[in-house]
Amino acid sequence: MNVTILGNNSALPAFGRHPTCQAVELSSEIILIDCGEGTQVQMQRYGIKWRRVHHILISHMHGDHYFGLPGLLNSMSLQGRKDELHIYGPQQLEPIVDAMMHAGGHQFEFPLHFHTLPDGAGVISDGTYFKISCFPVQHRIPCHGFVIEQKNARRRLLIDQCEAYGIPKTFYGPLKLGEDYVAPDGTVVPNELVTAESLPPRRYAYSADTLFSDSYLPYIQNADVLYHESTYLHADVEKAVARFHSTSMQAAQMAKMANAGQLLLGHFSSKYKDITPFQEEARTIFENAMATIEGTTYPV
């Protein structure tokens, strides 16, 4: 799993930075998180294929998180998309998108499914390859963060054991799926003798826009990578509190409390031209912190 930052600015495009959008790439598909203005242009620029996107998560109804959605959906339709698409977001989202399409007399040529996020926390998608959960954060309007877990559905081969039992390599695929091996003479080799449990799933947590608060700490605990907003440097902590945002040092404090593996910082205010101080401040509290750069892909 990896995440490509397509936009990491708050509110406005500024200094070559775009409003919030990121693409989480799994082996099976790409999940978009938030869809700020210019998302489809950023996707083309950084080689994120629309066809691989089947899930879009929208954290809240501030424009820097969804103004790019209508344009992206319209382009998908014009390009002849036939695959279904699932959008998870606040309940106001569907009527807004519908009204925009109806006003122009258009309709989508592909199955589009809207799913309203729950008031609290919950699992919103659970499939073979990944699980998506949402959790409420503290913002001026209802807002959710997300956790994406990549499942390792396949068992790990113990190669020495496989060879010792004489299992042909052509049977390694079924072994990973948990099947027992039956030799030509009828001898059964139980799967658990030649394979082991898969590695624990990798977890990516996205805080969306939020005031620094331990209310959402349980949901992001032990994330391999935590993306936390840091709209302001810590000198502007009063502004951050008044506007329900966080500072770089608060983001770092949250990563430390959550025991995260790595912290990615983003959602920088348009008032800052240089984002390196965000990283420097965060590292005074949490060493493995990065101020994200647009177009950069970070492994999870």
Q: Which among 8-16, 77-85, 169-177, 287-295 is the span making contact with Zn ion, rule CB under 5 A?
A: 8-16
Query: Which lies closer to Zn ion via its Cβ, residue 18 or residue 81?
Result: 18
Query: Which lies closer to Zn ion via its Cβ, residue 21 or residue 23?
Result: 21
**Closest distance between Zn ion and the C-beta of residue 70, in Å?**
18
Q: Is 245 in the site for Zn ion (CB under 5 A)?
A: no
Active site residues: 64
Strand partners, 222: none
Strand partners, 274: none
Q: Is 37 in the site for Zn ion (CB under 5 A)?
A: no
Query: Which lies closer to Zn ion via its Cβ, residue 133 or residue 246?
Result: 246
Query: Which lies closer to Zn ion via its Cβ, residue 167 or residue 220?
Result: 220
Binding mask 110-149 for Zn ion (x = CB under 5 A): ----------------------------------------
Q: Which among 45-53, 156-164, 196-204, 205-213 is the span making contact with Zn ion, rule CB under 5 A?
A: 205-213
Q: Which among 26-34, 88-96, 124-132, 202-210 is the span making contact with Zn ion, rule CB under 5 A?
A: 202-210
Over its C-alpha atoms, the chain yields an Rg (Å, rounded) of 22
Name, in order, each residue with C-beta under 8 angstroms of 133's C-beta and a sequence gap of 6 or more. 121, 122, 123, 124, 146, 147, 149, 219
And the tokens for 140? Answer: 């001026």
- Binding residues for Zn ion, total number by CB under 5 A: 4
Q: Is 224 in the site for Zn ion (CB under 5 A)?
A: no
| Helix, strand, or coil (residue 182) | strand
Strand partners, 5: 22
Distance CA 222, CA 256 (A): 10
- Binding test (CB under 5 A) with Zn ion, winner from 17, 18, 55, 62: 62
Distance CA 212, CA 193 (A): 48
- Binding test (CB under 5 A) with Zn ion, winner from 209, 224, 236, 294: 209
Distance CA 249, CA 280 (A): 9
Name, in order, each residue with C-beta under 8 angstroms of 139's C-beta and a sequence gap of 6 or more. 60, 208, 209, 210, 211, 244
Side chain identity, residue 253: Q
Q: Is 18 in the site for Zn ion (CB under 5 A)?
A: no
Interface residue list for Zn ion (CB under 5 A): 10, 62, 64, 209
